[in-house]
A and B are shown apart, each in its own frame.
Chain A
Amino acid sequence: MLVSPLRLLWIWTAIGMQSFGGGSATLYLIRRVAVERHGWITDEDFTRYWGICQIAPGINILGLVVLIGWRVAGAVGAALSLCGLLLPSAAITVALTSIYASVREAPLVRAAIAGVVPATVGLGLFLGFTMTRPLLNSARREGSASTLIAIVLLLASTIVAARAQTPVLAILYSAGAVSAIAQWQLAGRQKSEEGPRG
């Protein structure tokens, strides 16, 4: 093992506790610690792992933590790293929620929340926008057909989701399937077009 178990646990705890402000802040910290400070993995590994985590189930950051932990010390490393990142952050989240829940019905808090809820919607919409951009950009690089499909899928899933009775899993996986087939077909066509020239 490259580090002692306790130290490994502590390193991930520190990352979890320092990373306020969501995914990109956490990702930045993980890269600095795992690649630059400790040299557990190379920069290429980091990029490749992050790519794999995009298609893995659940929170991407947790997948990345598992992969890096595994590289450091196998199954034990993965478990320690996951616990280190998750437990303290989860405890703080629970503590904040319980404090909030105890004052939730106070008039002052109700008024404050009445202001916070629309702001959360605003932040959510902006988050949606930042999540859309890389997806549309990568579609645009593939050409107008991919871009059109991406836009249609985005609009179609929004419209279908507005009908409350549609199971969301059906929407998610239909969109995934349509996009998978389209991409496959388009990639095949591109290859055959490039073929004679190259």
Chain B
Amino acid sequence: MIHSLTLFWIMFRAALLSTTGTGNLPIVHQDLLSRGWATDRQFAESLAIGQISPGPTGLWVISLGYLVGGLRGAALTMVAIALPPLLVLVLVHGLYRRFGHHPATQGFVRGLGLAVIGIFVIVLTGIMNTAGWSMTNLMITGGAIALAATRRVPVIAVLILAAIVGIAIY
């Protein structure tokens, strides 16, 4: 049974303690999976929906909120991710002017970013574990990377193509 307040707190804490739209992913992933509230499949699904829906990519987590806790889960998640960015006002009116260009600040942001990417890779590996490391899956993954690398093919086209391949094979 999903507890609404806990879900809100997980989403809020993750957004507050991270930066960018995917920075919260490692935290949310660990918090929800350890409680058995979400599956790797749901993470993959919400990331895909986040890619095709409008607005910042960070809204993937609202899709996850819906899959985990229905409409209420989505609404709670939306409020939870809308609050932390307001702190930017505190930054701009003080802290940033003083510490923004300090080498330690720049270093901290970079370290945080690198760790997010490292953990992100492990989360993706976990998703691949549930999907299975079959030859077909690896070829789809490789194909998606190749298409994305051209930077000419829109994300939605890649996903539709993958869906067609899935229907044809499975």
Residues of A within 8 A of B (CB): 16-23, 26, 49, 51-67, 70, 78, 82, 85-86, 88-90, 92-94, 96-98, 100-101, 104, 108, 110-128, 131-132, 135, 138-139, 150, 153-162, 167-169, 171-184, 186-188
Contacts and interface: CB of A to CB of B under 8 A. Distances in A.
14 contacts: A58-B83, A60-B21, A93-B74, A97-B74, A112-B164, A115-B169, A117-B137, A157-B114, A161-B26, A162-B122, A172-B119, A175-B112, A183-B107, A187-B103
**Looking at chain B, what size class is its interface with the partner chain?**
35 or more
B2 interface: no
Contacts of A61: 21, 56, 58
A179 B41 contact: no
Given A61-B21, A111-B167, A118-B137, A20 B82 contact: no
Q: Which of B54, B92, B162, B165 has the most CB of A within 10 A?
A: B54
Interface of B: 15-22, 24, 26-27, 29-30, 41, 44-60, 62-63, 66-67, 71, 74, 78, 81-89, 91-92, 96, 100, 102-122, 124-125, 127-128, 131, 137-138, 140-145, 148-149, 154-156, 158-159, 161-167, 169-170
Contacts of B161: 119
Contacts of A55: 19, 91, 96, 100, 105, 108-109
A183 B103 CA distance: 6
Contact of A112 (B17, B81, B87, B163): B163
Contacts of B96: 52, 55
